[in-house]
Amino acid sequence: MKLAFCVEDDTDEEVFRVLVSKALGTEVVPSETQYRFARGGWTNALRLAPIIAKDAYHKGLDGALFAIDNDGAAPTHSVTHNDAAKGCRLCELRTAARIHEPLSWPRQGLPALRYLFAVPVQTLETWLLLARGHDFKGESETLGRDQPGRAKLKRLLYGMEHPDRDTMRSAALPIAESLDVNALAEVSPSFADFFSQLR
């Protein structure tokens, strides 16, 4: 299946491509067009989401994946939220994407579009560190709420705060490729929510 990946950087796209491929048991190919949420560009992400959701339809893709780190936003998502939950990044992103519009358009024999939303708490590095077995000592949901915390997550995963792309890739991809999605869902509510969209 071919998806538009709207993520924060190239490593995120590769990690999410692997995670979706594993969970769905099918090869996932990114669209030729690269969509990027700028880091820290939350307002811009909300503006871009509906444009990308519709673009996936017009380009004849199978859907789109939207992923942005939680970065300390509150509240974090809960199954009790309705779509209007104020401050919850997952709910706000989903609402902003207005996917009911493209989902209502004719597909002429193509399978229904799939839209996936991921907001790792607090960052994608958290998911990868949990998958690697890192012991957060009870802080897995809170570390990364502020900038020093996010720098620490990078040091833990990559061994440095400002890794280059090759360093990120060589640390992140083997974890994504070997991780047990069910085990990660048990220790990370934000991953469990993402995983539930894939089942």
Q: Binding mask 100-119 vs Zn ion (x if CB under 5 A, - otherwise)? A: --------------------
Report the nearest approach of Zn ion to the CB of residue 195 (Å): 16
Report the nearest approach of Zn ion to the CB of residue 149 (Å): 21
3-state secondary structure of 72: coil
If one asks whether residue 73 binds Zn ion (CB under 5 A), the answer comes out as: no
Exactly one of 1, 85, 103, 151 binds Zn ion (CB under 5 A); which one?
85
* Beta carbons within 8 Å of 100's beta carbon, 6+ residues apart: none
If one asks whether residue 121 binds Zn ion (CB under 5 A), the answer comes out as: no
3-state secondary structure of 30: strand
If one asks whether residue 90 binds Zn ion (CB under 5 A), the answer comes out as: yes
Exactly one of 20, 91, 121, 129 binds Zn ion (CB under 5 A); which one?
91
Report the nearest approach of Zn ion to the CB of residue 135 (Å): 28
In three state form, how does the secondary structure of 145-184 look?
CCHHHHHHHHHHHHCCCCCCHHHHHHHHHHHHHHCCHHHH
3-state secondary structure of 106: coil
Q: How far apart are CA 33 and CA 6, in angstroms?
A: 10
Task: Give the number of residues in contact with Zn ion, rule: CB under 5 A.
Answer: 6
If one asks whether residue 18 binds Zn ion (CB under 5 A), the answer comes out as: no
Report the nearest approach of Zn ion to the CB of residue 78 (Å): 6
Cα–Cα separations (whole angstroms), residue 192 to 85, 171, 181, 187, 196: 19, 22, 9, 8, 6
Exactly one of 2, 22, 54, 81 binds Zn ion (CB under 5 A); which one?
81
* Beta carbons within 8 Å of 97's beta carbon, 6+ residues apart: 49, 50, 52, 53, 66, 115, 117
Report the nearest approach of Zn ion to the CB of residue 118 (Å): 13
If one asks whether residue 68 binds Zn ion (CB under 5 A), the answer comes out as: no
If one asks whether residue 192 binds Zn ion (CB under 5 A), the answer comes out as: no
**Closest residue by Cα to residue 121 from 82, 183, 71, 180:** 71
Please identify, among the stretches 90-98, 99-107, 160-168, 173-181, the one whose residues bind Zn ion according to the rule CB under 5 A: 90-98
Q: Are 131 and 187 in contact (CB under 8 A)?
A: no
Binding residues for Zn ion (CB under 5 A)? 77, 81, 85, 88, 90-91
